[in-house]
Amino acid sequence: MVETLALRIAEALKRVESEKTASIEVMKFALEAILNTLITLALIVIVGIVTGSLGSTMLGFAAFAFLRFFAGGLHLNSAVHCSLLSAILISAAPHFHLVNNWIIMVGSVSLALILLLAPANIEGHARIPQKYFFILKLISAAIVCSNFFFLNSTLSIVFAIQAVTLLPFIKEVRL
């Protein structure tokens, strides 16, 4: 569905400005990423409004996306599956409240996974040279460590979800 829509938009853009646009394949790839993010965001906003937790849900989305940018992680075989699973997990996070001791424990496990495995699964998905991977790991670790200051339950949960996506035995999931 997302792939077809992205292709149609890319083809339309190419027809309008064939000289000033990238190839259809390049535009389709970029549009898929944009549409996937917009669908996920729309679902999360709807759930956040319905459950009365829009602020926490948006915080979870922003934190998850920010950490994922630097840490990498699991890729699903379908943009729709990715949007749905991300929306479900991120929207659920604000509804689980951890006490400070659990936030620290979950954060410590997340930090250990980040230090051991990040960045993961970014080859072929990002154009970042491997020589910068250690910097990505340090930035990812700093992001997770920030919650030792905030002690926010939602952040702890979304960081843990993101850290689990780094595990090597789940490089790609086919749903």
Is-above-0.75 flag for pTM? yes
Percent of the chain with pLDDT over 90: 78
State the residue for tokens 């729709």.
Answer: 80
Over range 28-35, report the average pLDDT.
91
In sequence order, the 6+-apart residues with CB closer than 8 A to the CB of 58 are 44, 45, 48
Over range 86-106, report the average pLDDT.
97
Q: Which amino acid is at 31?
A: L
Average pLDDT, the chain: 92
State the residue for tokens 């970042």.
Answer: 128
What is the full DSSP assignment across 62-87? HHHHHHHHHHB--EES-HHHHHHHHH
Q: Take residue 169 and report the two structure tokens written for it.
A: 């035995």
133 neighbors 82 (Cβ within 8 angstroms): no
Query: What band does 124 get if pLDDT is binned at 50, 70 and 90?
Result: low
C-alpha distances (whole Å) from 52 to each of 49, 55, 57, 135 are 5, 8, 9, 37
Over range 38-43, report the average pLDDT.
95
Query: What band does 132 get if pLDDT is binned at 50, 70 and 90?
Result: very high
Over range 53-71, report the average pLDDT.
97
pLDDT in the model for residue 81:
87
Query: What band does 59 get if pLDDT is binned at 50, 70 and 90?
Result: very high
Where on the phi/psi map is residue 146: left (φ > 0), alpha (ψ -120 to 50), or beta? alpha
